[in-house]
């Protein structure tokens, strides 16, 4: 129960929560089917011991977390499991390459993926851990949401920078029916950076998070879906899944200013 709102055994708090949970279930199933790391769990060196076991462990975490997120009694545990796993994975596999190649855009991009995923998981954890009672939520929600939003803002900035460091690639992905391909590529690079800064400093942060979610969703639909329908490469599939996942994570964070249905009436969390 959250305040006076009673949760049924299966309950979707927001559309973004449901979309994120379904995405994690799909990611887990894809990892098991392919026997390969999905985009959220990249970065493991080919020489790493027990690498194959980690493939299935990461897929299992995604699958169990996604299923757990749609059940009232397990949502807090599932979001906490996902958050802890993503943070540990990033520290072990994604942070070290940053020190080895601090000017490489690619290493920052993958770390940005993890930051957005961790942010979404953290938001969900504050929601469902807060279901223990408004007082508990008030004690933990403010700090948790601030950290989650900061991670989200930091994660967006490398995406914008990558639009410029990989400018030719970015320009080539602008739909052919749009004019001024170079201008669009530069514009969206700037908007990613601007949204990240806005979220970090708290200036029109909710609007920035909402617009960047829309931007990621449009990328997925207008850029990646046509590529996947045509003749996609393995790299195209990876980036399509990454774009889908980032859209789901960004949507959850954007909803953190509103809160799940019924929750915002009993505790101010942002």
Q: What is the pLDDT of residues 141-172, one digit of tens each?
A: 678 899 999 999 999 999 988 888 888 878 88
Q: What residue spans define the domains of the chain? A: 15-265
Hey, which residues does 71 pair with through a beta bridge?
10
State the pLDDT at residue 144.
84
Residues 69-100 pLDDT 10s:
998 889 999 999 999 999 999 999 999 888 88
Asked which of 64-68, 195-199, 222-226 is least confident by mean pLDDT, the reply is 222-226
For residues 239 and 16, the model is more confident at: 16
Whole-number Å distance between alpha carbons of 93 and 82: 16
Q: Which residues contact 59 (CB under 8 A, 6 or more apart)?
A: 27, 28, 29, 30, 31, 32, 38, 41
Which pLDDT belongs to residue 132? 52
- What confidence tens digit (pLDDT) does each residue in 16-43 have? 999 999 999 988 888 888 888 887 888 8
Q: Which pLDDT score is estimated for 137?
A: 47
Report the distance separating Cα 171 and Cα 182, nearest Å. Answer: 6
């Amino acid at each position: 129960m959250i305040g006076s709102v009673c949760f049924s055994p299966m309950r979707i708090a927001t559309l973004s929560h449901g979309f994120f949970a379904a995405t994690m279930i799909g990611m887990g199933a894809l990892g098991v089917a392919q026997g390969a790391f999905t985009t959220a769990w990249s970065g493991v060196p080919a020489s790493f011991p027990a690498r194959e076991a980690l493939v299935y462990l990461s897929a299992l975490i995604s699958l169990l977390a996604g299923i757990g997120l749609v059940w009232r009694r397990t949502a807090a545990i599932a979001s906490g499991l996902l958050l802890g796993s993503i943070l540990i994975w990033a520290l072990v596999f994604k942070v070290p390459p940053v020190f080895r190649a601090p000017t490489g855009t690619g290493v920052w991009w993958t770390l940005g993926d993890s930051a957005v995923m961790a942010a979404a998981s953290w938001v969900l954890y504050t929601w469902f851990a807060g279901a223990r009672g408004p007082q508990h939520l008030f004690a933990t929600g403010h700090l948790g949401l601030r950290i989650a939003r900061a991670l989200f803002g930091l994660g967006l900035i490398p995406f914008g920078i990558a639009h410029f460091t990989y400018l030719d690639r970015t320009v080539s992905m602008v739909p052919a029916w749009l004019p001024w391909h170079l201008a669009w590529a530069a514009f969206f690079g700037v908007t990613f950076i601007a949204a990240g800064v806005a979220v970090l400093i708290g200036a029109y942060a909710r609007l920035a998070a909402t617009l960047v979610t829309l931007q990621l969703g449009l990328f997925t639909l207008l850029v990646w879906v046509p590529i996947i329908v045509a003749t996609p490469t393995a790299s195209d599939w990876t980036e399509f899944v990454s774009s889908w996942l980032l859209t789901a994570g960004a949507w959850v964070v954007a909803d953190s200013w509103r809160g799940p249905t019924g929750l915002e009436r009993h505790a101010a969390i942002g």
